[in-house]
Amino acid sequence: MLEVNDFLVSIDAFIGSAPWFPFVLLGIGFFFTIYLGFPQIRFFKHAWNVLFDPEAKSKADGETSHFQAMSMALSGTIGTGNIGGVGLAIYLGGPAAIFWMLMTAFMGMTTKFVEVSLSHKYRITKEDGTVSGGPMYVMDRGLKWKPLAIMFACAVALSSFGSGSMPQVNNMAQVMQSTFGIDTMITGGIASVFLAFVIIGGVTRIASFASKIVPAMALFYLVGALAVIFYNIENVIPSFISIFADAFNGSAAVGGFLGATFAFAFNRGVNRGLFSNEAGQGSSAIAHASAKTEEPVSEGMVSLLEPFIDTIMICTLTGLVILSSGVWIDKHQNTFQTSDFSIIQGQYSDQDPAQKAELFKHINFLGDDIIEEYNGEIDVVAGKMTTMTVTILNARSVAEDVLFSKDDDNGDAMPYTGKLLIIRGDLDDSDVVVTGKSLVHSAALTSIAFTKSYFGDYGKYIVAIALTLFAFSTAVAWSYYGDQAVIFLFGPKGVLPYRCLYIVGFFVASFADTTVIWTFAAITVALMTLPNVVCMFMMRKEVKEMVDDYAEKISN
């Protein structure tokens, strides 16, 4: 599986993780922002009016209200990216990464406005009165480019597993086990039953579920986040300033954080921004196509608010929680993961400015890096390394208080004594467990930050419950996206087999290693985004006419 993951990583390096991808994503948003005259500012107030319009036409074709459609779309975007994704962005790029998440969201407001308006216009109404829509229908009926539509629909179906279902339940099961001691298989089984109940009811039940759970879980998370922010109120303004201070030159080293280049901050900020609000990916457009309205641009107006709520509000809130609490620069006791762990040749300290500068070059993959990964053996006595000519890195930081252990014949973890073979910086013996203090990232970082509040250690329960709700709601929304992709590819007959497979995959992923799935998801997200971006640009003149006509109507 490691070889499969490495192969997928190499593919992703040429698309979603390639240096040009963030420019494509920001570029399409920037283009339409200028081309359409800053609609995210011009129509911001009007968008709220449309969302809560009590006189919205209920007799128009469609199956959901404006609010239900946006709730369903938000349930798909407000997920682990808002909790773990922000923690990962700060870990990789420092505070500057949050700035680029915000820029992605600002441009993404226009991107989502365009993709939703087009998807609503080219949706179809089936014989039973239900509707289907999304970028695949725009590509097929509007752009008249069927192969591109098929490519997009296939990417949606695959991504519904890769980013919408399997990693979500895996995160959910892991956090319930670590926080409450609940077995991962039990969590997966119970969650799968609830998932089946919700998605088998179709879009009406999904939308009803989303319109209730999304506001509730957002409020729950808000209370916990504010408890951290007010507890650390003296750090909030400096933290907010740090987001903007190094936006164009990277984040400086501080504490255990060794610093990040502009390239890391920019790439990871944009990447996490896309994962958070999905603007440009085309997924939310599938949900909005179900809304009851005769005016496609009005639904685009509603969708314009999603990146604002999801990223500018919730992700900024999470960012301030992590930055103001200070936990992102501190080393915490944790179990080292293979992907974060490395042993390098030579002794290095993050307390020595010159050595810290060399470590900065190494972890940011700069061309003048002189540090080499270690090849050879290390000596370990009673769990502690006695070889003094190497340095252990974990999570882009110098590890401290490192302990090597291995299960004995009875299955009990015991401090290891003996030699360990190191190949290209990695442990050759996968049975050896390494623990110690280092930086942490993703949901674990957010969870620690939530304990630095008025709730104390109980704060981690807020993250656990919020992550569970966020992850489950994301899986529900993506099941509908997958439904619509399957309908486009195979017709309604493909929906039931797809749903069964979706639920089975959801259950299995709760106790499986999803490293490959996460990497595969990154590829499918890029394969959704690129065709969608091409389609939007090709139809730019039609979009301009639609928006100008709508602007004239609401001005009269």
Q: State residue 374 phi and psi, 5-degree precision.
A: -80, 140
**Range 2-330+449-555 has CATH code 2.102.10:** no
Contact of 516 with 5, CB cutoff 8 Å: yes
Strands 400-407 and 413-415: antiparallel
- Rg over CA atoms, the chain: 24
Q: State residue 445 phi and psi, 5-degree precision.
A: -65, -45
d(CA 506, CA 490): 22
The pLDDT value given to residue 163: 77
- 56: three-class secondary structure by DSSP: coil
Measured CA to CA in angstroms, residue 532 lies from 55, 149, 342 at distances of 33, 9, 38
Q: State residue 236 phi and psi, 5-degree precision.
A: -65, -50
d(CA 281, CA 25): 9
Contact of 118 with 536, CB cutoff 8 Å: yes
The pLDDT value given to residue 85: 79
pTM across the whole model: 0.86
The pLDDT value given to residue 296: 92
Within the chain, which residue ranges are assigned CATH 1.20.1740?
2-330+449-555
Contact of 272 with 266, CB cutoff 8 Å: no
Q: For helices 166-180 and 146-162, what crossing angle results, to 10°?
A: 10
Which of the 8 DSSP states describes residue 254? B
Mean pLDDT by 10 residues, the chain (556 residues): 76 82 88 96 93 66 79 76 82 89 90 95 84 94 95 93 82 83 92 90 78 83 94 95 88 88 78 73 89 89 91 90 95 90 95 93 89 96 96 95 92 92 92 94 89 93 87 88 94 93 92 72 85 95 96 88
